[in-house]
A and B are shown apart, each in its own frame.
Chain A
Amino acid sequence: MTKAKRRMSLAALSPTLAAGLSLEMKKSRLGAVMLVSGVISVTELSGEEITLLSHSGRLFIFGERLTVTALESRTLAVYGKIKGVEMSYGRRE
């Protein structure tokens, strides 16, 4: 079994592990970086707005010159000038 398949099967067995959405802000060389874990997919992606979908709901990130890096364990790192973060509750809202 490949490493990726092992991770995905773990998430399927324990959906609660992947259900949580957590945000973490860290300093980086480029300023600050927002680490968002528990991301299912990215529904909107542009330099000014990023919309993320998770089990808990959707997360909207606004700013300027935004770029992302998808990391392992369904974590997304957002770089750039983050001006605001909004949440919506429920996946279908």
Chain B
Amino acid sequence: MRLEYFLFGCREYSLDSPRELINLALSSSRTATLTPRGTVVLSIPTAKGLREQINALGAREVAKPRGIGGLIISLSRHIPTVGAVVISLFLCIFSSDLVFDVQISGNGRVSEEQIIAELDAAGFGVGSRWSKTDESAVELSVLQASDTLSWISINRRGRTAYVSVLELDSVPVAPPAFTAANIVASCDCVIEEITVLRGSAAVSVGDTVREGELLISGIVEGEGGTEYVMAEGIVRGTSSERITTEISRRSVESVTREGALAALSVKIFNFNINIFQSYGNLPEGCAIIEEKSNITLLGRRLPVTVVRGKYAYSEQSVRTLSDSELPIAAGNAHTERLNSALLGRDLISLKTEGEFTDGGYKMQSLAVYSAQVGRVVEIKTED
């Protein structure tokens, strides 16, 4: 096949006298080929230009148009299908550059939502384009803005971003502004361990100290005289605390009742499509609760989020707890207080008692624990 027939497409004609069609092409300086079968092949542009003469010669087209031009002609009859294929190809190519999902790993105390919010603030998330994302810049931006993460890494696998994080062990504490300090007892306790890193010990293991009593002194006597230093060390002591919780028989409960659907929107990548929104000025005691639900397909999360806003009515009701309900409610409240009070302390023993009172129920615990008991206090020197 000649190159021009392939590129522009060709039509094949059969007629009684192929010579006449060859002569017609010769006289009009166009290309025509006589095939061994006795048919004449013309390129599609030539056939279009000589259409009337070809019809006048009584030529019949004996085959479908061939070549790229012929393919285009046959496909032109299926424009919707071809258009759909082209659009699909474009969407596939375009969507392969988008972030479809973000998977977080390595987090414990910090929630996924918080990390995703920090990534959003750094300009990265579902819907971002990989080609326009500098992962190193995003990681640096998140670390600079975050006070809960010590390391973050963003890795791309297909259209999913796998984000690995390491959390900070503890919240960093700003160093004190003064230069000389003592360490004193933060509570009444019995010293069980004292390790001096800087300064001089004022107590020893087994001593009973009161709150505020000196444990490690920042005043050091040396060869050059008295020196004031920032006392540093670890002092652990055994102490006890009485924790009391009392609840009333009459309790006021706030109940949130969900109402009708107030708003509905769909978020596809970063595009938010509001379906409807019916609330304006909310009445008193009424709020809107948003529920977000992701759509999954075959176990994989799609970048489509449906956000439903529902009316939420807050109602307060007074109820009286029965004798069987009182200890349970008191126990729950007391447990929460104990967890808060014993945070960071090693519990040695716990004795809890409860009793009915006139107004409700009272629970009392005596907790004996071991904890760090040192507190830094500035030494005010007269200069």
Contact = CB atoms under 8 A, between A and B. Distances in A.
A30 B204 CA distance: 110
B23 A67 contact: no
A7 to B, nearest CB: 5
B34 A41 contact: no
B2 interface: yes
Given A45-B34, A67-B36, A7 B22 contact: no
Contact of B22 (A8, A40, A42): A42
A71 interface: yes
A47 B36 contact: yes
Interface of A is mostly: strand
A35 interface: no
Contacts of A21: none
A42 B31 contact: no
Given A44-B19, A67-B33, A67-B36, A39 B2 contact: no
Given A67-B33, A68-B33, A41 B2 contact: no
Interface of B is mostly: mixed
A45 B29 contact: no
Given A65-B36, A67-B36, A69-B2, A45 B30 contact: no
Contacts of A70: 22-23, 25-26, 30-33
Interface string A54-77: 000000000001011111111010
A4 B29 contact: yes
B29 A72 contact: yes
A45 B31 contact: no
Most buried by B among A3, A43, A45, A76: A45
B23 A4 contact: no
Interface in B1-54: 2, 18-19, 22-23, 25-36, 49
B32 to A, nearest CB: 5
Nearest to B32: A70
B29 A8 contact: yes
Contacts of A7: 29
Contacts of B35: 67
B265 to A, nearest CB: 60
Given A65-B36, A67-B36, A42 B30 contact: no
A4 B28 contact: yes
A40 B2 CA distance: 23
Contacts of A69: 2, 31-34
A78 B198 CA distance: 108
Contacts of A73: 29
Contacts of B2: 69
A67 B27 CA distance: 18
Contacts of B19: 42-45
Interface in B103-125: none
Contacts of B28: 4, 8
A46 B25 CA distance: 17
B26 A41 contact: yes
Contacts of B26: 39-42, 70, 74, 76
Contacts of B18: 45
Nearest to A65: B36
Contacts of B36: 47, 65, 67
Nearest to A3: B29
A49 to B, nearest CB: 12
Most buried by A among B19, B22, B30, B34: B34
A41 B32 contact: no
Given A68-B22, A73-B29, A74-B26, 7 more contacts: A39-B26, A41-B27, A44-B19, A65-B36, A69-B34, A72-B31, A76-B26
Interface of A: 3-4, 7-8, 39-45, 47, 65, 67-74, 76
30 contacts: A4-B28, A4-B49, A7-B29, A8-B27, A8-B28, A40-B26, A41-B26, A42-B22, A43-B19, A44-B19, A45-B34, A65-B36, A67-B34, A67-B35, A67-B36, A69-B31, A69-B33, A69-B34, A70-B22, A70-B23, A70-B26, A70-B30, A70-B32, A70-B33, A71-B31, A72-B29, A72-B30, A73-B29, A74-B26, A74-B29
Q: Which 3 A-B pairs have the closest CB atoms?
A: A45-B19, A70-B25, A69-B33
